[in-house]
Structure 1
Amino acid sequence: MSKRVRPGYYRQEVNKTTWEVPDRYRDLRQVGTGAYGTVCSAVDSRTSTKVAIKKLYRPFQTELFAKRAYRELRLLKHMKHENVIGLLDVFTADLSLDRFHDFYLVMPYMGTDLGKLMKLQRLSEEKIQYLVYQMLKGLKVKNSLKTHNRESDFNCSVDEINILDFGLARQADSEMTGYVVTRWYRAPEVILSWMHYTQTVDIWSVGCIMAEMLQGKPLFKGSDHLDQLTEIMKITGTPTQEFISKLESDDAKSYIKSLPKVEKKDLQKVFSTANPQAVCVLECMLLLDPECRVTAAEALSLPYFSEFRETEEETEAQPYDHSLDNTDLPLDQWKRHTFTEILSFKPVLPESKETSL
């Protein structure tokens, strides 16, 4: 006999998965699936807005899964910033801790991604400035959060608040969570696992997205990993000896040394019809060496963004309490902490801000 549905909730099968959600969320439709969960779009009847609801896949099947689920919830609760997707709601249909098996995260639905937007129209100079400025503000928050946390394995929790989650990116790969940046936007150090990632790994992606806005087509359109690298080096030139010596992989070193030497292209000539200040931004972002790329905070101070700058708005994240993040707890304790976080969630009522997109 199937268990009764919690009052105020209803049960629906979505692609062979049972969803139990509050009555306010209607018209559930699966929009993505990955290793850790499934995402449905829905209409919130209270606000008449479209939302994305994520159901984690068996969040308490192991201590590792439970810790990951707890951290994801804590991070999303912590992020309250207009440029980073925030948590609108979190709920469970399970009435007590001993019956607690599943929970759901509700976030804004990012329906129009930049890819669709660019197919519809060529973006104006002002719109490009605005969109890149917004992405950089969001990245600055994300990077400050990671700095406060100072964890080497922090990236596994941050995929939820990546550039792609700002609703400004293309069709995502199906691997991992379904929110991973496609090859055309990946930083070279990610493509070949050259070296330890730094915070500028996302700056490369922003540079690729900005270049596409200016050109109306992707800048680096590789057909596979190595072709992607070849396309990148046609613009950046082949790496210097100084950069090659920083690589951690001997295979990567020997591969790069075997490549024919290519000179760096002058981006002012590649983007000859673009605003020179916009090209200056790209020059600072699209550098092979992650240590030479601008940070989000540095990029925000470039002249191209001067008319949008409101420095008091370029906030950093409040320090994140990660006292439990490095601990190993038994499964039932992760469960208890997660249940408490769900019960203590206070939704922030969204202001009705219409964007000019």
Structure 2
Amino acid sequence: MASTVVDRNNPVAGHIISTTIGGKDGEHKQTVSYMAERVVGTGSFGIVFQARCLETGETVAIKKVLQDKRFKNRELQLMRLMDHPNVISLKHCFFSTTTKNELFLNLVMDYVPESLHKVLKHYSDARQAIPLIYVKLYMYQIFKGLAYIHNVHRVTHRDLKPQNILVDPLTHQVKLCDFGSAKVLPLFPGESAVDQLVEIIKVLGTPTREEIRCMNPEYTDFQFPQIKAHPWHKLSVASPELVKRVIPDHMKWLFGLNFAGT
């Protein structure tokens, strides 16, 4: 997924946006053009507009947010990880500048015409209850999407509301969107990888030198506090077998980080 800086103004109906994608690792480079059609959302984050790809005719949603050049965009980093039918997909991204030399990040995503907010408002205005089958169908998909971002990527959305739950009116497929406030939360509390590792050691006990060597040979001589493992039967957890499997995996991941000098 490549990104190219292009000069452009605010999106208005009929405005054409051109960018280049591809070109990495021998990938074919191609120019893609989008025609802005209408604004579908605004907020403190920026603006979302509906656009049409001139090459393919595909309708997409483009989220344009002001980018601080000093920092990476967390939403972009998280969306690059997501791959689930109930989570909005990132097609590609590009940067654009204005005449004021402001840098904007443009996220090109699936276009879904409705939101749960609009669906609920439709039934409310008609003074009707939303059909129970739709309630079940939407909730099932919402939970599937949340389970995916929580369990696979340890991401919390932190701004889940009807406006951020998209609904396809034809297929009734639901997609979670707007990860601008989302954040990866560690399995264990701590300000750093070292803090998290110490918390894990309090549960599993200090790993042996052989175990450390298997996880990361660079830390074989690193001095860890000698702590005995906590008895599993004393842990108040719903699924101890799951915890036994997940915690060692997280410890192995932490050992892959370069924290020895911190």
Structure (1 or 2) with the greater helix fraction: 1
Q: Same fold (TM over 0.5)?
A: no
> Rg bigger for which structure?
2
TM-score normalised by the chain length of structure 1: 0.34
Higher relative contact order (CA 8 A, sep 6+): 1
User: Which has the larger share of strand?
Assistant: 2
Give the TM-score of the pair, scaled to structure 2: 0.45
